[in-house]
């Protein structure tokens, strides 16, 4: 997997608040969902890979055990949804609801 977010990987990502990190991950997941609905597998996979990259950057920047646990479960569940057997019985609606909370909270004070 190529590094798509080079400036973020260089350290800028760690400076963002957790809510903004999660909202940005959600943006990539939203793109993947939209491309999947349009049946464009290549673009869906690219957006999905970018979301994994952001999840991994977040995992590297988080020290709190509860957040680490949530992020690792998120990584597992989102991978299962897009490219596994969907054993967690996720849906597009579930992912949109999950990430919309972070987007709202991150933009609330702007």
Domain ranges in the chain?
17-107
Q: What is the CA radius of gyration of the chain?
A: 14
Closest CA to 36 of 74, 88, 90: 90
Residues 69-95 have pLDDT tens digits of 999 999 999 999 999 999 999 999 999
pLDDT at 4 over 70: no
Total residues belonging to the chain = 110
Q: Residues 96, 27: contact at Cβ < 8 Å?
A: no
Tell me if the pTM is above 0.95.
Answer: no
The number of CA neighbours under 13 Å toward the Cβ of 108 is: 10
Do the beta carbons of residue 65 and residue 58 sit within 8 Å?
no
């Amino acid at each position: 997997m190529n590094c798509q977010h080079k400036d973020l990987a260089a350290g800028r990502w760690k400076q963002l608040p957790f809510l903004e990190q999660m909202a940005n991950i959600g943006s990539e997941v939203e793109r993947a969902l939209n491309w999947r609905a349009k049946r464009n597998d290549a673009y869906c996979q690219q957006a999905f890979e970018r979301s994994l990259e952001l999840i991994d950057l977040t995992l590297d920047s988080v020290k709190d055990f509860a957040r680490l646990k949530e992020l690792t479960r998120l990584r597992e569940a989102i991978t299962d949804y897009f490219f596994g057997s969907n054993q967690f019985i996720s849906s597009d609606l579930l992912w949109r609801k999950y990430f919309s909370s972070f987007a709202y909270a991150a933009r609330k004070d702007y």
